Amino acid sequence: EIAIPSPAQWVLDKLNGAGHSAYVVGGCVRDSLLGLEPHDWDICTSARPEQVIDVFGAERVIPTGLKHGTVTVRENGESFEVTTFRVDGPYSDGRRPDSVRFSDDLIEDLMRRDFTVNAMAYHPAEGLIDPFGGREDIKGRLLRCVGDAYARFSEDALRILRAVRFSAVYGFRIGSYTRYAMATEARMLGGIAKERVGAEVRKLLAGRYAAVVVRENIAVLNVIIPYLQDILNCSQNNSYHYANVFEHTMDAMAASWREEVFPAEWADEYARAALFFHDFGKAAVKTCDEQGYEHFYGHPKVSAERVDEILRGLRMPNEYRRAVVQLVENHDATLYPSLPSARRWLLRLGEEQLRRLMKMQECDAAAHVASVHKKRFADLKTFSDCVDMVLTEASAFSLKQLAISGKDLLTIGYTQGPEIGKTLRSLLEDVVEGKLKNEKEALLSAAAGMR
Ligand code: ATP
Ligand code: MG
Per-residue pLDDT band at 156 (split at 50, 70, 90): very high
CA distances from 151 to 112, 114, 165, 267 (A): 11, 11, 20, 38
Q: Is the CB of 26 under 6 A from ligand 1?
A: yes
Residue percentage of the chain with pLDDT more than 70: 98
Top-tier CATH class for 6-133 = alpha beta
User: For residue 156, which atom of ligand 1 is closest to its CA?
Assistant: 27
The reply to whether ligand 1 has any atom less than 6 angstroms from the CB of 156 is yes
The β-bridge partners of 84 are 45
Burial class (CB in 10 A: 0-12, 13-18, 19+), 303: buried
Is 118's C-beta closer than 6 angstroms to any atom of ligand 1?
yes
* 355 CA from centroid of ligand 1 (Å): 33
Q: Amino acid letter at 331?
A: H
Nearest to 163 by CA among 112, 135, 204: 204
- Ligand 2 centroid–CA 48 distance in Å is 21
Residue 89, classed as helix, strand or coil, is: coil
For residue 371, pLDDT beyond 70: yes
Domains of the chain: which residue ranges? 6-133, 141-224, 228-392, 399-449
The tens digit of pLDDT for each residue in 244-298 reads 999 999 999 999 998 877 777 776 899 999 999 999 999 898 999 999 899 999 8
Q: What are phi and psi of 76, to 5 degrees?
A: 55, 40
CA of 312 to the centre of ligand 2 (A): 25
* 399-449 fold: Serum Albumin; Chain A, Domain 1 (1.10.246)
Q: From atom 30 of ligand 1, which residue's Cα is the shortest distance away?
A: 113
Ligand 2 centre distance from Cα of residue 40 (Å): 6
What is the number of the ligand closest to the CA of 132?
Answer: 1
294: CA distance to ligand 1 center in Å?
45
Q: Which of 30, 84, 113 to mutate to test the pocket of ligand 1 (most atoms within 8 A of CB)?
A: 113
pLDDT the model gives residue 396: 60
The domain at 228-392 falls in which architecture?
Orthogonal Bundle (1.10)
Residue with the bigger pLDDT between 67 and 161: it is: 161
Question: pLDDT tens-digit profile of 187-220?
Answer: 999 999 999 999 999 999 999 999 999 999 999 9
Closest of 426, 332, 418, 428 to residue 376, by C-alpha: 332
Distance between Cα 110 and ligand 1 center (Å): 11
* Nearest bound ligand to the CA of residue 165: 1
What are 37-51's pLDDT values in tens digits? 999 999 999 999 999
**Ligand 1 contacts CB of residue 114 (under 6 A):** yes
Residue nearest to atom 10 of ligand 1 (CA): 27
Ligand nearest to the backbone CA of 31: 1
**Which pLDDT does position 400 carry in this prediction?**
80
Given this chain, do its domains 228-392 and 399-449 carry the same CATH topology? no
> Which residue lies with its CA nearest to atom 4 of ligand 1?
27
What fold, for 141-224? Hydrophobic Seed Protein (1.10.110)
Q: Is the CB of 159 under 6 A from ligand 1?
A: yes
Atom 17 in ligand 1: which residue has the minimum CA distance? 26
30 alpha carbon, closest ligand: 1
In this structure, the residue with its CA closest to atom 3 of ligand 1 is: 27
Q: Is the pLDDT of residue 96 over 80?
A: no
**How sure is the predictor about 395, in pLDDT bands with cuts at 50, 70 and 90?**
low
d(CA 129, CA 179): 26
Sheet holding 22-25, edge to edge: 61-65, 70-75, 78-84, 43-45, 22-25, 121-123, 127-129
Supply the mean pLDDT for the chain.
Answer: 93
pLDDT digits (tens, 9 = 90+) for 16-29: 999 999 999 999 99
- How confident is residue 394, by pLDDT bands cut at 50, 70 and 90? low
Span 90-111, average pLDDT: 85
